[in-house]
C-alpha cells in the first residue's frame, strides 16, 4: 500500500505543478499519469519498493527498461522527491546517492553526478534544471533555484538563484521565489 500511496502523491503533486491553476481533478490526474515523465517516476517508485521487498533482479530489469524505453538512467541509491517532473526524458542521468527535491522540473539531456569521486549533488524543492545542464559533485542547489540550459554547476547555488554558464555562476535571484519563502511581496 505504501507504493500506491507514493504513486498517488506523485500524481497529485505533478498535476498541481503542471496544470494551469494547479487544478487537481480526476481528468487532470489521468492526463498527468499519461506523461512519459510520470512513467519514469512510477518505475522509480517500483524499483524503490522492490529493493525494500528484496525482490531479486527487479532493480536491474526495471533500470534497463527505463533506459531502453525512456533514455533515463537513475541510480538505485538516488533519492527522488515527490512529484519530480521529467519533462523530456531522453539523456537524463542521475548517479550515486544524489538527492532530488520535490516538484523539481528536469528537462532532457542532463547529468546529476559525481566529480572527482567526492560525492553527489543535493537538489532542493521546486528547482528547474535546464536542458543539457550538468550538476557535478557534492554541491547543494537551494529551493527554487533555476539552473540554465547547458550550465555546468560545480559550486553551491543559493535558494532562488539562477545559475548559468560554464562553469556556472549565479546571475540573479528569483524574486517571486524569495517573496514566497520569506513572506515579503516581490520587492
In a domain, 44, yes or no: yes
Above 70 in pLDDT, residue 149? yes
CATH of the domain at 92: 2.160.10.10
How many domains, the chain?
1
Write out the E strands in 124-174: 128-129, 134-136, 140-141, 146-147, 152-153, 161-164, 169-173
The answer for residues whose C-beta is within 8 angstroms of residue 36's C-beta and 6 or more apart is 70, 86, 89
Instruction: Convert the pLDDT of each residue in 152-177 to its tens digit.
Output: 999 999 999 999 999 988 886 655 54
Active site (catalytic) residues: 88
Among the listed residues 15, 69, 19, the one whose alpha carbon sits nearest the alpha carbon of residue 39: 69
In a domain, 187, yes or no: no
Question: For residue 123, what are the domain limits?
Answer: 2-182
Among the listed residues 21, 20, 18, 72, the one whose alpha carbon sits nearest the alpha carbon of residue 42: 72
Amino acid at each position: 500500500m505504501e507504493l500506491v500511496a507514493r504513486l498517488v502523491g506523485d500524481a497529485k503533486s505533478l498535476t498541481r505543478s503542471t496544470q494551469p491553476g494547479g487544478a487537481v481533478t480526476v481528468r487532470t490526474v489521468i492526463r498527468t499519469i499519461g506523461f512519459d515523465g510520470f512513467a519514469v517516476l512510477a518505475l522509480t517508485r517500483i524499483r524503490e519498493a522492490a529493493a525494500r521487498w528484496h525482490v531479486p533482479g527487479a532493480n536491474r530489469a526495471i533500470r534497463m527498461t527505463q533506459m531502453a524505453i525512456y533514455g533515463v538512467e537513475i541510480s538505485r541509491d538516488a533519492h527522488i522527491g515527490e512529484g519530480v517532473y521529467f519533462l523530456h526524458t531522453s539523456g537524463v542521468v542521475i548517479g550515486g546517492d544524489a538527492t532530488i527535491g520535490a516538484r523539481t522540473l528536469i528537462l532532457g539531456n542532463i547529468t546529476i553526478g559525481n566529480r572527482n569521486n567526492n560525492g553527489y549533488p543535493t537538489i532542493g524543492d521546486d528547482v528547474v534544471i535546464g536542458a543539457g545542464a550538468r550538476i557535478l559533485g557534492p554541491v547543494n542547489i537551494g529551493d527554487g533555484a533555476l539552473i540554465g540550459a547547458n550550465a555546468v554547476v560545480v559550486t553551491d547555488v543559493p535558494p532562488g538563484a539562477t545559475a548559468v554558464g560554464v562553469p556556472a555562476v549565479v546571475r540573479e535571484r528569483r524574486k517571486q521565489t524569495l517573496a514566497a519563502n520569506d513572506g515579503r511581496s516581490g520587492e
